[in-house]
């Protein structure tokens, strides 16, 4: 499982949710997961300043290249096993 969360995500707080997700996965016996909090990204995985919804319309980026690279590397790592 790959879990990604933007540092500035105001809809799904990484500080609140990522530790809970990690704990739940560990308690379920899942040891094949990666959890990453990505700096300066909002809920839509766009590079931003504040993470506020009102900021969305000012951002030209559809999705951060960093996220695309992380997803690509993760898919490659699990398909090569």
What does the domain layout of the chain look like in residue ranges? 2-79
Model pLDDT, residue 6? 98
Model pLDDT, residue 74? 96
DSSP letters for the chain: -EEEEETT-SSS-HHHHHHHHHHHHHHTT----EEEEETTB-TTS-B-SS--GGGGGG---SS-HHHHHHHHHHHHHHH--
Model pLDDT, residue 81? 67
Model pLDDT, residue 80? 81
Bridge partners, 4 (sequence order): 36
Model pLDDT, residue 70? 98
Model pLDDT, residue 11? 97
**Predicted model pTM:** 0.92
Block means of pLDDT (10 residues each) for the chain, length 81 residues? Answer: 98 98 97 96 98 97 98 93 67
């Amino acid at each position: 499982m790959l879990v990604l969360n933007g540092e500035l995500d105001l809809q799904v707080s990484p500080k609140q949710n990522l530790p809970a997700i990690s704990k739940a996965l560990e308690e379920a016996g899942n040891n094949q997961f990666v959890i990453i909090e990505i700096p300066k990204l909002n809920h839509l995985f766009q590079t931003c300043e504040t993470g506020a919804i009102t900021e969305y319309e000012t951002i030209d980026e559809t999705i951060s290249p960093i996220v695309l690279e992380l997803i690509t590397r993760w898919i490659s790592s699990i398909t090569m096993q």
